[in-house]
Amino acid sequence: MSSADLSSQSHNDNNVGQMLGGLVFIKTRDLASLEKFYIETIGMQLWLEQPNITILHHGNMILGFHQIQNVDEQEPDLQGMYTFVYPSLEQVDDMHAKLQHVADGKPRHNERYQIYQFFAKDPEGRDLEFQAFLHPLKEVSSAVPKWRKRNRNQ
């Protein structure tokens, strides 16, 4: 579909804009290895595939991994940390059991931030955190809110 076709569609089209939020794209040298790690080990789900791109989600966290075309000239994105949040301490413990070979140690309570956490690395060396909050939180949703129609003449 061309951009002209898209722009002529009604803004009320139910197939457009079903998400409000964002996603982070990350350059990788080995898309297949990361897909396997994040899907099979961490349990992320496939959201969308595009040429040289795999987009995965964990709840409302969306990560897009983009295969570097020239691995000799580009470096993968390794900065930042990706934090996976779980509703229970038991789920953090379960993730630690799966990742203990790449974890920094056992899960622990962090009194300052009121979380239960551990850190690990992905196959390319990115920092990962697995945690559960130890206090109530507001609900976060990526559902598109019902927008109120506005009068264009206002």
pLDDT digits 0-9 by tens, 88-146:
999 999 999 999 999 999 999 999 999 999 999 999 999 999 999 999 888 776 565 66
If you search the block for the tokens 């990788």, which residue do you land on? 28
Indicate the residue type of 144: V
Indicate the residue type of 97: A
Instruction: Give the pLDDT score at 121.
Output: 97
- Distances 136 to 93, 107, 114 between C-alpha atoms, Å: 20, 20, 10
Residues near 100 by Cβ (< 8 Å), separated by ≥ 6? Answer: none
Indicate the residue type of 90: E
Instruction: Give the pLDDT score at 16.
Output: 58
Query: Parallel, antiparallel, or unpaired: how do β-strands 24-28 and 61-67 relate?
Result: parallel
pLDDT confidence band for 3 (50 / 70 / 90): very low
Q: Any long-range contacts for 106-109 (C-beta under 8 Å, 24+ apart)?
A: 109/134
